[in-house]
Structure 1
């Protein structure tokens, strides 16, 4: 069966891939033995037959074995050692669970760009990073061990608790390495960084001390988003990471004025459980308020005029008695709902406050203020209010509410003491540094990230937890004397104790003598927010400034980073805040931001709902290359969302890989036929090959040069979303146009010389395609190249090492083949068997 018959047979793509598995195995086993033997040697220059059927996942496993056997990635790094440096920062994933599609997508983008940088002549260090501390790990341990709170951890002991945390991190990191390697990503696990390494933690201490010495650290008591499940406050940006639409109880209650108890302030809340601790109500000083009579009850209320619809359906239900600005209510006293805090009245409680945060979008324009209680008291409190005649209205209300980003439980707002880093004063500098970064897509810089920066708040960096980098502050009991430690050596000098590790169990017992006669100083109990650690990774991964000072300073800021759009309120933000505070400049030059991968129904992927296919099963069924190309050739690379569909991955095989593979097979078939029938040994030498006079050869070669030009320009601009569609379209043009229309020439029906020209053209294009597609589909390009290289005069290849497609540099544009005018003029004279489906518009620069 020849190429055309095979490509256009009645068999479905699934049949072509999966039928005759025994036959495929026998053929490919023999083929792979030869390819494996000759991959890195020159034992033979014989091209090997290409099997009719193929299992892409099985071939990928074979390529993986070759890469591992010859340590190809490390060899790649060695070859690039003396090249100009290209700096890449790998955003550390949390070492819990296995990679999901979001991780796979971001990892693929990083792999593509860093492979391209290597192909372009740079030395690209690719170190994998791990976020090992913090709530993600602790929450998993708490669930596993059934721990309910600080008392349980105290009973176990911090050392034992942290031992469990370390264990889960190391287990998951090993599983991640297996999964990431199978996906074809070349990343250095041997030289990784983990936030639990003492060297990393010491650099985090150094970062903090720089901020402390600059006066950017303070202790304060603020109302903070608080996770009851994790028993710790969260930062402002963490609380914005996980909002959900929820249905909550909604009540409107009365607060009679002391000066006239027949007149009541009416306040709205969706948290009735907080009402027993009400200490004040707040109004807007600028909006207009009204005193009105409820025509059905005769009760007199005060509320914001713009919010009358919250209580009444029409203006016939009430009579307005007076109008005034909210500022007129300031200082008025009211009767409390409950008696629990009557003693606070002497300290100014149960008074009307004014603040601009009160808006006209919801509620009654009067907001009740309270500390916190447990949410399980809702029904009893509503019943109590109703019995006391203080309930005006009750129901349910659907609204957007923050949930803990790790435990997925509702947050409460609680006044807690925390350590803060000052951010608000440097908003203008943050915006300035943001403008210096090149964002893809660009709208993320201006809108999503830029708007977030404009409202940046001081950062709560302390967590009341255990598994993390301890905050290096030693304080007196009254907090009047504070010593900030910035290194292990400094702590050893101050305490006289040898330091082996920096986790809590190793440093909490250490004291420092007071210089002010206050006895001894003890470390504060908190640990760092894990986002502070990941934001410190540019410095901590190389143990700066204790080691590698020149290496870091010569390569900072990074040339490239990439993560999901959710990191605009996570890693992107913390990187920028710390870099701006430390050095006054941005931490990276170029960033690609991807969107979210959702289930096929548009919902968030959920293990509980089982609404998405297991990534490992997808790879086992279709191969990693197909998954990579499906993700990259989608709107998700433009920071839009993607509804993941398994058939989309399958279509990549059918529409891209099978035609490409069959074109390669057709080439090999006819090279072997040429040798068998004509005694001609095909050997490609790009520097001596004669240009063909055939118009179709000129057309595809010219189009190939156009592709190279476009590829380099767009990849250098980090626009993967324009590159992949062009590559996919080129595969279609090669297989459905060039190969179809030149079948007879390629099969030798127009003579041996013309056949050689056609085979040289097809080989040249396939060789170019392998190099261009290598960053995107590393497996199939290696597979094809390992056989094609035996048809090459390797002395004509400029690269010193040709043993792997991933050692080769990008193809150079050969302008003498860029004969676009001839191509377009002659193309219209070709007698076409197939109708045009679309036109191709090619633009040239002046002079071409």
Structure 2
């Protein structure tokens, strides 16, 4: 055989070499090229280096789709791709050359920096390609799509140009999340929320006017509005205070009080009624007296003086043109009483919600943070401080101004940069945006025909898209696809030109650079068609958001070729982790709709996140990351794929080494099955694949019909699951099939396959071969290495033609061979068999010792049918002379008691009534109901009202007193009773079976093959000889004895093999020679 033993690492490497040498996948692509087209769009992994375990999970699932679709004869578009632009690569190159800022990069040389980025990302792509080969994926790895290629960037440019032509691209000023570490704007989908503990502060703003919209009161010197914030760095940018017009607010007097009762520091505070007690008492430790209560709209227009008014001159400038600056404004949407004071610190330059709330009051956004997050010189004493990082210094400044009330810890969700994982801040910045808010409903409607697995992913997707704002697509970095927008540099001219291709550059009279990246693209200058200035049109300095790279993959994977797009687009399937619902999936939809006005994919499979066994996210900082190679080295790729891909769609997986070990043991069972087939065929000198199929089908008994039915029903089920992308659900039925083949069918025919007739042995080999090969064809989709190794052994042994399992079509099921009733009966048979074996164990009676009778007691139709239909099979399997099926066993005394703790837990105060009824009810009635229905209904009366109560099995304690000769054992839906009565005949047969087993062991120890015949002399007592004589023929057949002598004297001559042994107290001597 090609593979005598299975060593996963060596076997897998040999299989990879075999596939490569014989061009297995290339030949399959050629074979299927005229088949129905199937476009699988590979979500591009970032070129960060060696795969982590989640990468391996991702591509194992993807490969299942590719392999299945090819097995159905489809022409599969299977090009892989990579995500390469963006900050991770830029940071790696910066770290290598000790660069910290954009200025450092420019000093280093933009051309050198970009070339270093290209080299790093392509080197990493090569490493990841090796990983893709190692885990057995069948993607076409020869020409991956890469965003760094000019053709790809043109595909993005075409999107930008199309969006511009459709009036869906604009330049605007907005408050955006900003990564000061990466020095660039972030879109909503680029923020990852983490639970953090921050210092929150309660602050008082001193009122200077109460002459507002709804009040004309005089303002005292010591009146304050109380606000709360978790971002102290935003206080310098505060321009308003929000209140909810419909909430109740209080005017309260607060003061400090000494132990002697002396009052000091009296002030008037305004805050919500719901939170006043907590803020004044628990937080500020003040005494409080309510002076007045009113609705929030009473405070609209009240003015206050900012604590930093004396050293931030910008406030006066803003107040001059915008009189509502530093006043109380109204908003229902963003003000509640879940935390804080009920008055919200409002900085319109530090949050889109704040900006929106301030618009009706003509309060402009104010935020002059630099790109690196530092406050500029114009911010006075705060100049040189950094947002978020220097929160304590802003808090200290408030304390110095007498505005700080208290500092408290707060646990909350805070956005972090998805790339560097640092907390983000907010900046008001001019960016380029996709205009999508008015079409997001159309995007959702376009998605209505898409199949989502699981369906919960659809809900997440629609919720995310439904809440999208216009997408900022420009980024202030160097490593990325340059934004293809040129603007006239003449200050009196606002001409804009959007370029969609290299051909556009040529047609506008410029030379196309070999590399479209910065800095070379910035050498391209155009004459302005509007003001006629020469070479005045310069490219804007931004790059495109890296997520737009990924969003254009649906046509860039097709080389942005109109003919290919017409033939293949949209993608038939995409498959990624659930976090991509808000990332790649939504960007695919947005980009596709902007360019083509239609969806970009038809089917989606979503899997979960990878955690450690305790449920914690795998992280380098925690030290709980597991490399895929750690799992591959221990158990192999097949186990990795088998274990990971069974996890429920959309659900997180808590990695378990124990479960991996279980899969490894099961894979070994599969290996042993094919060895069994080959050995069985060799021993009987037959080729199971050349046996007459019609004859074999006619010879089949219940055992064969069962496993063939199981095969066909499994094929039917799994085919449907694959077609509907329920990938995770395919594994269990396949696992059940091969375990049934090994544990049920092989066990049932063990005797028939060893000492049966020639036809019996042929039938067993034929059945195992048929089921095993069809199983391998399907299971190779999941675990391709061991299945291919097994197939190559079978191919070599039996002369099969196909070069590889993958060249077979998905096996067709035969509806006529599916017998679900038989499958159900076998399930009942297995339960009854196990119960009988449990009873034997209680009786300390091994299975070789026949029993007089097994009584099956059941009220369940399915169990009764199993026992009656498979009576002979059950007799044979458990070694019983008779099987009786009864509704009850005569002589069994039954009693039933209520399980007080369970009833009390479920029914509380009703429990005494329930237990009273149970105690007064016939035990037989309760047991009959439990046996038939699995529950027992009773009626109780409480306060003259009758109520029906359902009691389940765990609420009742059933005790049985069994007749002396019987041993009881229970299984779901039935009781079995083993008759322990012994007779001379039963004992004799038991001894005969034990002797057979012992001689077979001696043969094996002597190194004999199953096909070797022996001459056997068996010495025993004279009484035992009489007992064994009737079984002489059976013993001879079972142990392969051409001649057998049973005697109570020693053998007349010396034999080559001799051994003494005991069965119970009887002594035996076996002497034999090989014929």
Normalising TM by the smaller chain, what interval? 0.7 to 0.9
Residue matched to 1:139: 91
Residue matched to 2:542: 526
Task: Output one character per residue of 1:366-419: Cα deviation in whole Å (capped at 9) or x when no partner.
Answer: 224153541343333323322332111112211110111110100001111111
User: Compared with structure 1, are the counterparts of its residues 310 and 707 closer, same or farther at alpha carbon in structure 2 (3 Å cutoff)?
Assistant: same
Kept in 2, the 8 Å contact 1:495–1:510? The answer is no
> Paired residue for 1:308, among 276, 280, 283?
276
User: Compared with structure 1, are the counterparts of its residues 838 and 212 closer, same or farther at alpha carbon in structure 2 (3 Å cutoff)?
Assistant: farther
The answer to whether 1:354 aligns with 2:330 is yes
Note the C-alpha offset of 1:279: 3.2
Note the C-alpha offset of 1:289: 3.0
Q: Distance in 1 between matches of 2:346 and 2:501?
A: 47
Three-state SS of the structure 1 residue aligned to 2:412 is: strand
Note the C-alpha offset of 1:821: 4.6
Paired residues for 1:410-489 under 5 Å: 410-446=423-459, 448-477=460-489, 478=491, 480-489=494-503
Q: Distance in 2 between matches of 1:685 and 1:227?
A: 71
User: Compared with structure 1, are the counterparts of its residues 836 and 765 closer, same or farther at alpha carbon in structure 2 (3 Å cutoff)?
Assistant: farther
Task: Output one character per residue of 1:154-192: Cα deviation in whole Å (capped at 9) or x when no partner.
Answer: 111221111111111011111101111111111111121
Kept in 2, the 8 Å contact 1:674–1:681? The answer is no
Q: Distance in 1 between matches of 2:96 and 2:870?
A: 68
Q: Distance in 2 between matches of 1:838 and 1:814?
A: 31
Residue matched to 1:10: none
Residue matched to 2:679: 669
> Paired residue for 2:555, among 539, 549, 564?
539
Residue matched to 1:627: 640
Kept in 1, the 8 Å contact 2:689–2:769? The answer is no
Task: Output one character per residue of 1:704-758: Cα deviation in whole Å (capped at 9) or x when no partner.
Answer: 11111111111111112222111112222111111122122223x1121110001
Note the C-alpha offset of 1:673: 1.0
Residue matched to 1:299: 267
Note the C-alpha offset of 1:527: 0.5
Which has the larger displacement, 436-445 or 822-831? 822-831
Note the C-alpha offset of 1:837: 7.4
Unaligned residue ranges in structure 1 (runs of 5+): 1-30, 36-49, 795-800, 841-848
Note the C-alpha offset of 1:518: 6.4
Residue matched to 2:878: 833
User: Compared with structure 1, are the counterparts of its residues 309 and 629 closer, same or farther at alpha carbon in structure 2 (3 Å cutoff)?
Assistant: farther
> Paired residue for 1:490, among 473, 479, 504?
504
> Paired residue for 1:282, among 242, 263, 283?
242
User: Compared with structure 1, are the counterparts of its residues 533 and 837 closer, same or farther at alpha carbon in structure 2 (3 Å cutoff)?
Assistant: farther
User: Compared with structure 1, are the counterparts of its residues 414 and 320 closer, same or farther at alpha carbon in structure 2 (3 Å cutoff)?
Assistant: same
User: Compared with structure 1, are the counterparts of its residues 406 and 322 closer, same or farther at alpha carbon in structure 2 (3 Å cutoff)?
Assistant: same
Three-state SS of the structure 2 residue aligned to 1:465 is: coil
How many residue pairs get aligned? The number is 772
> Paired residue for 1:250, among 183, 200, 220?
200
Residue matched to 1:846: none
Residue matched to 1:5: none
Three-state SS of the structure 1 residue aligned to 2:151 is: helix
Residue matched to 2:344: 366
Residue matched to 2:23: 71
Kept in 1, the 8 Å contact 2:207–2:302? The answer is yes
Kept in 2, the 8 Å contact 1:463–1:528? The answer is yes
Residue matched to 2:179: 227
Paired residues for 1:393-412 under 5 Å: 393-412=406-425
Task: Output one character per residue of 1:194-228: Cα deviation in whole Å (capped at 9) or x when no partner.
Answer: 01110010111011111110000111111100001
User: Compared with structure 1, are the counterparts of its residues 169 and 388 closer, same or farther at alpha carbon in structure 2 (3 Å cutoff)?
Assistant: same
Residue matched to 2:163: 211
Which has the larger displacement, 192-201 or 94-103? 94-103
The answer to whether 1:93 aligns with 2:66 is no
Q: Distance in 2 between matches of 1:190 and 1:541?
A: 13
Q: Distance in 2 between matches of 1:839 and 1:587?
A: 51
Kept in 2, the 8 Å contact 1:434–1:445? The answer is no
Paired residues for 1:10-409 under 5 Å: 31-32=1-2, 50-51=4-5, 54-239=6-191, 242-259=192-209, 260=219, 261-294=221-254, 296=256, 297-308=265-276, 311-313=279-281, 317-338=287-308, 339-341=311-313, 342-344=315-317, 345-348=319-322, 349-355=325-331, 356-364=333-341, 365-369=343-347, 371=367, 372=369, 373=375, 374=386, 375-409=388-422
Note the C-alpha offset of 1:685: 5.4
The answer to whether 1:716 aligns with 2:716 is no
Which has the larger displacement, 194-203 or 265-274? 265-274
The answer to whether 1:604 aligns with 2:617 is yes
Residue matched to 1:810: 810
Q: Distance in 1 between matches of 2:821 and 2:421?
A: 62
Note the C-alpha offset of 1:283: 3.1
Which has the larger displacement, 625-634 or 300-309? 300-309
Which has the larger displacement, 85-94 or 552-561? 552-561
Note the C-alpha offset of 1:579: 1.6
Unaligned residue ranges in structure 2 (runs of 5+): 210-218, 257-264, 351-366, 370-374, 376-385, 826-865, 880-968, 975-1075
Q: Distance in 2 between matches of 1:234 and 1:542?
A: 28
Residue matched to 1:562: 575
The answer to whether 1:649 aligns with 2:619 is no
Q: Which has the larger radius of gyration?
A: 2
Note the C-alpha offset of 1:108: 1.1
Which has the larger displacement, 154-163 or 561-570? 154-163
User: Compared with structure 1, are the counterparts of its residues 154 and 328 closer, same or farther at alpha carbon in structure 2 (3 Å cutoff)?
Assistant: farther
Q: Distance in 1 between matches of 2:299 and 2:321?
A: 19
Note the C-alpha offset of 1:313: 4.7
Kept in 1, the 8 Å contact 2:202–2:406? The answer is yes
Three-state SS of the structure 2 residue aligned to 1:513 is: coil
Three-state SS of the structure 1 residue aligned to 2:802 is: coil
Q: Distance in 2 between matches of 1:808 and 1:395?
A: 67
Task: Output one character per residue of 1:310-368: Cα deviation in whole Å (capped at 9) or x when no partner.
Answer: 51457995333333443443333211111213433323332333343334333223224
Three-state SS of the structure 2 residue aligned to 1:212 is: helix
Which has the larger displacement, 76-85 or 289-298? 289-298
Q: Distance in 2 between matches of 1:758 and 1:838?
A: 31
Which has the larger displacement, 814-823 or 454-463? 814-823
Kept in 2, the 8 Å contact 1:613–1:646? The answer is no
Q: Distance in 1 between matches of 2:505 and 2:612?
A: 50
User: Compared with structure 1, are the counterparts of its residues 507 and 681 closer, same or farther at alpha carbon in structure 2 (3 Å cutoff)?
Assistant: closer
Q: Distance in 2 between matches of 1:436 and 1:325?
A: 49
Three-state SS of the structure 2 residue aligned to 1:294 is: strand
Task: Output one character per residue of 1:755-781: Cα deviation in whole Å (capped at 9) or x when no partner.
Answer: 000100000010011011011011111
Three-state SS of the structure 1 residue aligned to 2:690 is: coil
Note the C-alpha offset of 1:469: 0.9
Which has the larger displacement, 140-149 or 523-532? 140-149
> Paired residue for 2:668, among 658, 673, 678?
658
When the two chains are superposed, the root-mean-square deviation of aligned CA atoms in Å is 2.3
Note the C-alpha offset of 1:571: 0.4
Kept in 2, the 8 Å contact 1:225–1:235? The answer is yes
Note the C-alpha offset of 1:303: 2.2
Q: Distance in 2 between matches of 1:839 and 1:170?
A: 63
